[in-house]
Amino acid sequence: MALPKYTEPHYRIWHYVYLFICACVFFFLIAPLFVIFPLSFNAEEFLVFSDGMKRLDPDAFSLRWYHDMVYGTKNPWGLAAKNSIIIAIFATIGSVILGTLAALGLSSRYMPFKGLVMAALISPMIVPLIISGVAIFFFMAKVGLAATHLGIILAHIILGTPFVVITVTATLSGFDHSVTRAAASLGSNPINTFMKITLPLILPGVISGALFAFVTSFDEVVVVLFLAGLDNTTIPIQMWTGLREQLSPTILAVATCLILLSTLILLTAELLRRRSERIRGISR
């Protein structure tokens, strides 16, 4: 954003002030995440930068907390990771199937009560999690699914579907329905048309919805706090307990892994978004 030569001085100053403000806000957004990295390699048990770290002394850094995360005797991270992954995968599959079907119906121009139904389907994203947690807990306790994997998976499907509905309807908004009619007129049945024509076209939206659903489930703690028993502990639950009781550097090691995971997911989501925009011809 180079300024033209004829810019008056006070606008020039204002422009630099504006850029400075933006830089500060970006710093505020991103910097907190980077505190975690160096501290997770701390050789000591304290969550502050030791003098050795400030001098960049190699002895002040170590991988002991990562070692502790994987091999630590009392550490339940292994079980938690396993549970988290199982729950997130099944919750994602459920959310994607239900959410995509609903989005297909919602984006049809014949759909009755479209606004109302859409508002209802999005509501789990809007209703405060604590209320969702209480309500889902009452339900799961009544049908005997509290403290089971299935109960948590169902709960996460509830919380994940709004994201799938939103991303898939967004993809479908640029969808040319004449291609499905063309397929039908060539003798394809609806299921075949969906698998061969519609799905490949909306796939980027479906996958980015799936990523959202996965992250929602993988990161969800409020509802699980109500539902989980000792066998269903997940990574967020372990982090929550750790943060409440004692902030140990092992948590920072886990957090670093989670940041790397979210970076990976972010990059995938961004690539998909661009691909989807290219397919739909909204290239920018």
Partner 1 sequence: MSKETKQILSTDGIPLEESLKKAEKKNKIKAFLLVCPLLLFLIITYVFPIGEMLFRSVDDKMVTNMLPKTYKAMENWDGKDLPEEDVFKAFYLDYKILVEAKRHGRLATQLNYEKNGFKSILKKLARKQKNFEEGNYKEQIMKVHKRWGQVDYWRAIKRRAPAYTYAKYLKGVDMYENEDGKIVQVPENRRIHKLLWMRTLNIALGVTILCFFMAYPIAHLLATLPMKYSNLLMICVLLPFWTSLLVRTASWMILLQQQGIVNDFIVWIGLVSDDNRPEMMYNKTGTFVAMTQILLPFMVLPLYSVMKTISPSLMRAGKSLGATPAIAFFKVYFPLTIPGIGAGCLLVFILAIGYYITPALVGGASGTLISNQIAYHMKETLDWSFASAMGLMLLAGVLAIYWLYNKLVGVDNIKLG
Window 226-265: residues binding partner 1 (CB under 8 A) = 226, 236, 239-240, 243-244, 247, 251-252, 255, 258-259, 262-263, 265
Q: Report the C-alpha gap between 8 and 193 in whole angstroms.
A: 61
User: Which one among 218, 232, 276, 280 touches partner 1, defined by CB under 8 A?
Assistant: 218
Q: Least distance in Å: CB of 241 to partner 1?
A: 11
Within positions 6 to 45, which residues make up the interface with partner 1, using CB under 8 A? 11, 18-19, 21-22, 25-26, 28-30, 32-33, 35-36, 39
Residues 83 and 268: beta-carbon distance below 8 Å: no
How near is the Cβ of 91 to partner 1 at its closest, in Å?
13
Interacting stretch for partner 1, rule CB under 8 A, among 57-65, 73-81, 115-123, 178-186?
Answer: 115-123
Per the CB < 8 A criterion, the answer to whether 255 and 165 are in contact is no
Min dist CB 210 to partner 1, Å, is 13
52-111 binders of partner 1 (CB under 8 A): 98-99, 101-102, 104-106, 108, 110-111
Is position 2 an interface residue for partner 1 (rule: CB under 8 A)?
no
Helical packing angle, 64-71 and 249-279, nearest 10°:
80
Query: What share of residues in the chain are helix, strand, coil (percent, to 5)?
Result: 75, 0, 25
Give the binding range for partner 1 (CB under 8 A) out of 61-69, 72-80, 162-170, 174-182.
Answer: 162-170
Distant-in-sequence contacts of 242-250, Cβ < 8 A, 24+ apart: 247/47, 248/45, 248/65, 249/39, 249/40, 249/42, 249/45, 249/47, 249/65, 250/65, 250/68, 250/69, 250/72, 250/75, 250/77
C-alpha triplet 173, 176, 182: angle, nearest 5°: 150
Decide: 30 and 9 in contact? Cβ < 8 Å.
no
Which residue of 119, 182, 195, 271 would you call a contact of partner 1, by CB under 8 A? 119
Give least dist CB 231 to partner 1, A. 19
- Which part of the chain contacts partner 1 (CB under 8 A), choosing from 72-80, 181-189, 195-203, 207-215? 207-215
**233: nearest Cα among 87, 66, 129, 95:** 87
Q: Which of 79, 89, 93, 135 binds partner 1 (CB under 8 A)?
A: 135
- The yes or no reply on residue 121 touching partner 1 (CB under 8 A) is yes
Enumerate residues 6+ apart whose C-beta is below 8 A from 138.
Answer: none
Site for partner 1 in 172-201 (CB under 8 A): none
Task: Give min distance, CB of 59 to partner 1, in A.
Answer: 21
